[in-house]
Structure 1
Amino acid sequence: MAIDDKMLMDLAGQLGMGKNKKGTAEFINDATSKYADKNDDQILSEIMKLKSVLKKDKAAFDKQMEMIKALRPMMSAEQKKKLDGLLKVLEE
């Protein structure tokens, strides 16, 4: 199952990020703003909820994991460390 813009926007809507047509950068900025005031435990809780939804479609989950891993080269060492922890949680 291919992930298209409609699926991404539907997912964004489920996460409370709106369903309007936005570019990737704006989508990421909105997500960053939404979670900026949350601590790591709160964010992890949201991730676990999302994981249970995403794991229902293994192909889509695998594709999303690939997209997340593709961001790694653009991150600082601290961000990479957090991402690695996140990936470990998601892949368990």
Structure 2
Amino acid sequence: MDINDKLLMDLANQVGFSGKNEKSVKQAERMAEAYKGKGEDELLKEILKLKQSMKSDRGQYEKQIKAIRSLRGIMNAEQKARMDRVLQLLEED
């Protein structure tokens, strides 16, 4: 298993996918693939819908935000700026 698989497995576990196994990694990859190629406006609409779902369970929401923040360490400056924008959208009331 390479570092990317390990990272995906760890993140899948943090956001609530059951178990640290290949199925969790595949589920995370499918989710990422579903958003590939979408425009920024479309992604922002999806984020706002996701926010409502995430906030319904405060404990799970906090785990998901922590997982999202953990991605910053592998991003370049442009990606970090976008991630900060996403986090701001997710965290504001």
Q: Same fold (TM over 0.5)?
A: yes
CA RMSD, aligned part only?
2.3
Q: Which residue of 2 aligns with 1:31?
A: 31
| In 2, Cα distance between equivalents of 1:34 and 1:68 | 17
Kindly provide the CA deviation profile for residues 27-85 of structure 1, in whole angstroms up to 9, marking residues without a partner as x. Answer: 44323321122101111111111110110111110111001101101111111010000
Q: Which residue of 2 aligns with 1:66?
A: 66
Pick from 1, 17, 25 the counterpart of residue 8 of structure 1: 17
Matched AA of 2:23: K
Matched AA of 1:22: K
Give the structure, 1 or 2, with the largest relative contact order (CA under 8 Å, sep 6 or more). 2
- In the TM superposition, structure 1's runs of 4+ consecutive aligned residues that sit over 3 Å from their partners are 26-29
> Higher helix share goes to which structure?
2
Q: Any unmatched runs of 5+ in structure 1?
A: 10-20
TM-score scaled by structure 1? 0.71
The CA deviation at 1:88 is 0.4
Q: Any unmatched runs of 5+ in structure 2?
A: 1-11
In the alignment, is residue 88 of structure 1 matched against residue 92 of structure 2?
A: no
